Amino acid sequence: MPLCLPMIRRLKSPHLFGAIDRLPALGRPVGNKTFEVVNPSTGEVLAELPDMGVEETRAAVDKAYVAQSGWAALTARERSDVLWRWHQLIIDHAGDLAAILTAEMGKPLAEAISEVSHAAAYLQWYAEEANRVYGETISAPSTDRRMLVIKQPIGVVGTITPWNFPASMVARKISPALAAGCTIVLKPAEQTPLVAGAMFALAHQAGFPDGVVNLIYASEGDRVGRELCTNSKIRKISFTGSTEVGRLLM
């Protein structure tokens, strides 16, 4: 089920966010298991999302791995342009994103609007940093040689974000990876996955190629986290969350 009807009616662009359980960034769920996202203030069920596990996570990593070479082969300006478009779409839909964030997390609307602005600012910053992935020229020990350092994207990045900053932490973690030419797999906190889904709907509209950004919904983060940490195709992990989960990942 997508966002509940009362939630959709509060949005200016329900067509963008009414099907965040069927995003291009999501893989095909295995089985029919779902979990509910609940408004912590009212107890209202906001959405019922596919509950993904190891198999779906592995498929998302494979998809990101296949897309990695094509995304890395783009020019810095081309990657920057996509990030800039995503930034502008988040600015344009900030009200809806803040409403979703407040409904699922309980943060006051004014603070939610501020957080969405911070998320957009991360994208803006790294959209320009994409153009500044410079190498180095080093003095050589002889006149007939030249020493160059060329920086390359590391590969697929797995990211896990917390419940208390569900929009800004998404942008903070994945925008530098995308700017550098890496593809990503994101697992948002099970309590607050909806604003991440809404942001990924806008990412698709911004023009990210298929497989570059991938999203996993899951009610049990330990299974997904273990797969992200042990899959040989994942080259880097970025995690923010509780000490308990951090120990599991370590």
pLDDT band at 1 (very low <50, low <70, confident <90, very high): low
Q: What is the pLDDT of residue 220?
A: 84
Of 14-18, 82-86, 186-190, 215-219, minimum mean pLDDT range: 14-18
- CATH number, domain with residue 169: 3.40.605.10
Judge whether 22 and 16 are in contact, CB under 8 Å: no
Q: What is the pLDDT of residue 153?
A: 96
Distance CA 78, CA 229 (A): 30
Grouping H, G, I as helix, E, B as strand and the rest as coil, residue 7 is helix
Q: At residue 190, what are phi and psi to the nearest 5 degrees?
A: -65, -25
Q: Which residues contact 120 (CB under 8 A, 6 or more apart)?
A: 87, 90, 91, 94, 171
pLDDT band at 3 (very low <50, low <70, confident <90, very high): low
Structure tokens at 42: 């009212």
Question: Which residue in the block uniquely carries the two structure tokens 């791995």?
Answer: 65
Q: What is the mean pLDDT of the chain?
A: 91
Identify which of 205, 198, 207, 212 has the alpha carbon closest to the alpha carbon of residue 82: 207
pLDDT band at 68 (very low <50, low <70, confident <90, very high): very high
Average pLDDT over residues 131-156: 89
In Å, how far are 3, 92, 118 from 111, measured between CA atoms? 22, 17, 10
Please say if the pLDDT value at position 2 is more than 70: no
Higher pLDDT, residue 244 or 175? 175
Q: Which domain holds residue 44?
A: 5-249
Distance CA 130, CA 177 (A): 10
Distance between alpha carbon 138 and the CA centroid of its chain, in Å?
36
User: What type of residue sits at position 131?
Assistant: N
Please say if the pLDDT value at position 5 is more than 80: no
DSSP, res 165: S
Average pLDDT over residues 187-205: 95
Helix and strand numbers (H, E) in the chain are 10, 8
What radius of gyration, in Å, describes the C-alpha atoms of the chain?
19
Q: At residue 30, what are phi and psi to the nearest 5 degrees?
A: -95, 120
Burial letters 30-57, b for 16+ CB under 10 A, else e: eeeeebebebeeeeeebbebbbbbeebb
When divided into structural domains, the chain yields a total of 1
Residues facing 45 on adjacent strands: 38
Counting residues of the chain whose pLDDT is more than 70, the rounded percentage is 96
Q: What is the pLDDT of residue 27?
A: 78
Q: What is the pLDDT of residue 43?
A: 92
Average pLDDT over residues 95-100: 95
DSSP, res 26: B
Average pLDDT over residues 12-28: 77
The terminus-to-terminus CA distance of the chain in angstroms comes to 35
Most confident of 34-48, 80-94, 137-151, 228-242: 80-94
pLDDT band at 38 (very low <50, low <70, confident <90, very high): very high
- Rounded to two decimals, the pTM is 0.91
Measured over the CA atoms of residue 107, residue 111, residue 115 and residue 117, the dihedral's sign is positive
Please say if the pLDDT value at position 221 is more than 90: no
Q: What is the pLDDT of residue 102?
A: 95
Please say if the pLDDT value at position 18 is more than 80: no
